Amino acid sequence: MRRLCVHTITTKPLPLEECLVEFPKRGVTGITLWRQALEGRDPAAVRLQVADAGMEVVSLCRGGFFPAATADGRRSAVEDNLRAIELAHAVGAPLVVLVCGAVPGQPLAESRRQIAEGIGAVLPAADAAGVRLAIEPLHPMYADDRSAVSTMRQAHEICDALGSPVGLGIAVDAYHVWWDPELEEQIALAGRKGRLHAFHICDWRTPTTDLLNDRGLMGEGCINLREMSRWVDAAGFTGHREVEIFSDRWWAGDQRAFLDAIAASYAQLYHE
Ligand code: ZN
Residue from 155, 175, 129 nearest 64 by CA: 155
Ligand 1 center from residue 9 Cα (angstroms): 11
Ligand 1 center from residue 116 Cα (angstroms): 19
Ligand 1 center from residue 107 Cα (angstroms): 24
Ligand 1 center from residue 72 Cα (angstroms): 28
Ligand 1 center from residue 3 Cα (angstroms): 16
Mean pLDDT, rounded, of the chain: 98
Please write the tens of the pLDDT for every residue from 45-82: 999 999 999 999 999 999 999 999 999 999 999 999 99
Ligand 1 center from residue 117 Cα (angstroms): 22
Handedness of CA 167, 108, 157, 232 (dihedral sign): positive
The CATH classification of domain 4-269, taken from the options 3.20.20.150, 3.30.1490.20, 3.20.20.20, 3.30.43.10: 3.20.20.150
Ligand 1 center from residue 171 Cα (angstroms): 7
Contact (CB, 8 A) for 213 and 166: no
Q: Inform me whether the pLDDT recorded for 272 exceeds 90.
A: no
Q: What are the boundaries of each domain within the chain? A: 4-269
Ligand 1 center from residue 96 Cα (angstroms): 11
Please write the tens of the pLDDT for every residue from 79-127: 999 999 999 999 999 999 999 999 999 999 999 999 999 999 999 999 9
Ligand 1 center from residue 174 Cα (angstroms): 8
Please write the tens of the pLDDT for every residue from 143-201: 999 999 999 999 999 999 999 999 999 999 999 999 999 999 999 999 999 999 999 99
Ligand 1 center from residue 173 Cα (angstroms): 5
Q: What is the DSSP letter of 89?
A: H
Q: Inform me whether the pLDDT recorded for 42 exceeds 90.
A: yes
Amino acid at 183: L
Please write the tens of the pLDDT for every residue from 120-134: 999 999 999 999 999
Q: Inform me whether the pLDDT recorded for 271 exceeds 90.
A: no
Ligand 1 center from residue 243 Cα (angstroms): 9
- Which pLDDT belongs to residue 1? 83
Cβ neighbourhood burial of 94 (10 Å; 0-12, 13-18, 19+): middle
Ligand 1 center from residue 136 Cα (angstroms): 7
pTM above 0.85, yes or no: yes
- State the average pLDDT over residues 257-271: 97
Q: Which residue would you say has higher pLDDT here, 1 or 66?
A: 66
Ligand 1 center from residue 208 Cα (angstroms): 17
- State the average pLDDT over residues 213-231: 98
Residue from 70, 66, 67, 62 nearest 88 by CA: 62
| Contacts by 123-128, CB closer than 8 A, 24 or more apart | 123/162, 123/165, 123/167, 123/168, 125/82, 125/85, 125/86, 126/85, 126/96, 126/167, 127/165, 127/167
Ligand 1 center from residue 236 Cα (angstroms): 20
Phi, psi of 230 (to 5 degrees): -60, -45
